Amino acid sequence: MGGFLRRCASVVLMSLALASTGLAADGKSHRVSIQVDQNDPQVMNLALNNATNVIEFYRGKKEDVEVDIVTYGPGLHMLRADTSPVQDRIKQLKAMAFPAKIQFSACNNTKQGMEKTEGHAISILPDATIVPSGVVRLMELQERGWSYVRP
């Protein structure tokens, strides 16, 4: 019986290996969400580096890729028009990404909390999209099969 189980396990493993290479060969789209939850220019730049590297890697393979950099908590400063230390890099990345898709998601819960604390409206960069909740956005992307990276 032990030999039979080993043969079955080998068949299953080979089938999985073939199935996974078959998916990549079919031109499956790659999708990654990158979390930024710190008001730290090094973390923000690392997230932008990660996104750039992923886009360039799949561009070189002529495969589609989607990237969503999701900011919340102190990380929202990355996408604030008045405090972002990486505004120019965001514009450059947005411009170079095509035909890859990139989104910069700004947490509305955090935005509203900051507005209440600071006593004034906060502007988000025009290259960003406001989402109801950064954490929920990350959850939903992962539930839809997106990969997740936290620099």
Q: What average pLDDT score do residues 76-89 get? A: 98
Confidence band, pLDDT 50/70/90 cuts, at residue 3: low
Q: Which is more confident, 55 or 12?
A: 55
Task: State both tokens at 111.
Answer: 């935005």
Lowest mean pLDDT among 10-24, 110-124, 127-141: 10-24
Task: State both tokens at 97.
Answer: 């990404």
Q: Is the dihedral of CA 56, 57, 63, 65 positive or negative?
A: negative
Confidence band, pLDDT 50/70/90 cuts, at residue 111: very high
Residues 6+ apart with CB under 8 A from 123: 80, 81, 82
34-71: pLDDT as tens digits: 999 999 999 999 999 999 999 999 999 999 999 999 99
Average confidence score pLDDT of the chain: 87
127-140: pLDDT as tens digits: 999 999 999 999 99
For the entire predicted model, the pTM comes to: 0.81
Query: Side by side, which strands form the sheet with 147-149?
Result: 128-131, 101-107, 65-71, 30-36, 147-149
